[in-house]
Amino acid sequence: MTADDARRGELKPIMDAAAVERALRRMATQIAEDLASRGEIALVGIRAGGVPVARRLARLVAEAEGGPPPPIGEVDITLYRDDLYTGLEKPVLGETRIPFPVEGARIVLVDDVLFTGRTVRAALDELMDYGRPRLVRLAVLVDRGHRELPIQADYVGRRLETELSDRVVVVHGGDGERDPEARVELGRAGRGRP
């Protein structure tokens, strides 16, 4: 990528639809091996990017295991954020929907990109307000590093070396279960910027 490309903010492809599919399938297999054999599990996607990933993972876990797909929940972490009053316009509140009892559940928290870890921290706090899960694991499609909190993913589709100022873009398409347009791209800011 040339400097001109960077200045125009062009995106460099990291994973195409097939690569995303392979990564999710590998994660699903691991999840099924680790957890499904030990009883019911549930997937909770972090809005907005984690929700389609959770849907696809649920289908793949069911395929790997041969049973019905696990229940899926969604959390909107806006009210749990630690940066609400840092001067950004307030985000529109999304809905949190957890259609199963959290108390005692085995939950895989799902997001598309793991970065500072603050979003996961907020999602964990919110989950705990719904009850006391038996265990919580974390699955992410991309881990781009630069953690600011001691949080690590248990299941990772792809580890990516990035600059702090880079943008990682996960594109979702299709119906969430099958996604021929899914891809991951990297936007690199111009050189010399912090």
Partner 1 sequence: MSFARKDLVGIADLEEHEILTLLDTAERFRELNERPIKKVPTLRGRSVIHLFLEPSTRTRTSFDIAAKRMSADTFSVGGVTSSAVKGETLLDTARNLHAMRPDVIVVRHKMAGTAALLAKALPCSVINAGDGFHEHPTQALLDALTLRQRLGGFEGRTVTIVGDIAHSRVARSNVILLTRLGARVRVCGPRTLIPPGIEALGAVACDRLRDAIEDADVVMMLRIQQERIDQGGHYFPNTREYSRLYGLNLDTMRRARPDVLVMHPGPVNRGVEISPEVADGPWSVILDQVTNGVAVRMSAMYHVMGADRAEAAVQRGADR
Give DSSP secondary structure letters for 24-74: HHHHHHHHHHHTGGGS--EEEEETTTHHHHHHHHHHHHHHHHTSPPPPEEE
Please state, in angstroms and rounded to a whole number, the distance separating the CA atoms of residues 119 and 47. 10
> Which part of the chain contacts partner 1 (CB under 8 A), choosing from 14-22, 78-86, 161-169, 183-191?
78-86
Contact flag: residue 80 with partner 1 (CB under 8 A) = yes
Contact flag: residue 129 with partner 1 (CB under 8 A) = yes
Q: What is the largest CA-CA distance in the chain?
A: 53
Contact flag: residue 191 with partner 1 (CB under 8 A) = no
Please state, in angstroms and rounded to a whole number, the distance separating the CA atoms of residues 48 and 30. 24
Q: Closest distance between partner 1 and the C-beta of residue 117, in Å?
A: 17
Contact flag: residue 84 with partner 1 (CB under 8 A) = yes
Contact flag: residue 83 with partner 1 (CB under 8 A) = no
> Which part of the chain contacts partner 1 (CB under 8 A), choosing from 8-16, 34-42, 84-92, 144-152?
84-92
Contact flag: residue 69 with partner 1 (CB under 8 A) = no
Distances in Å between the Cα of 93 and the Cα atoms of 47, 75, 130, 172 are 10, 11, 18, 21
Nearer to partner 1, 133 or 157 (CB): 133
Under 8 Å between Cβ of 21 and 180: no
Contact flag: residue 119 with partner 1 (CB under 8 A) = no
Q: Closest distance between partner 1 and the C-beta of residue 46, in Å?
A: 16
Nearer to partner 1, 152 or 165 (CB): 165
Q: Which residues pair with 81 in a beta bridge?
A: none
Q: Which among 61, 57, 55 is positioned nearest to 36, based on CA atoms?
A: 61
Please state, in angstroms and rounded to a whole number, the distance separating the CA atoms of residues 169 and 186. 6
Q: Which of residues 85-104 bind partner 1 (CB under 8 A)?
A: 85-90, 92-96
Residues that bind partner 1 (CB under 8 A): 76, 79-81, 84-90, 92-96, 125-126, 129-131
